Amino acid sequence: MRIRPYIPNKDYEYISKWIDNERIHAFWCANRLSYPISQKSFHDFLEKNSMDWTDSAYVATENNGQPVGFFCYSVNAESNIGFLKFIIVDSTKRGEGYGKGMLNLALQYAFQITGAEAVQLNVFNENTSAKRCYEKVGFVERNIDKDAFSYKDELWSRCNMIVSKQ
Print pLDDT tens along the chain (166 aa): 999 999 999 999 999 999 999 999 999 999 999 999 999 999 999 999 999 999 999 999 999 999 999 999 999 999 999 999 999 999 999 999 999 999 999 999 999 999 999 999 999 999 999 999 999 999 999 999 999 999 999 999 999 999 999 8
State how far the Cα of 25 lies from the Cα of 40, in Å rounded to an integer.
17
From the list 36, 14, 39, 15, the residue with the least C-alpha distance to 25 is: 36
Q: For position 166, what pLDDT does the model report?
A: 83
- CA neighbours closer than 13 Å in the CB half-sphere of residue 161: 23
State how far the Cα of 48 lies from the Cα of 143, in Å rounded to an integer.
27
Q: For position 72, what pLDDT does the model report?
A: 98
Give residue 88's Cα distance to chain centre.
6
Amino acid at 106: A
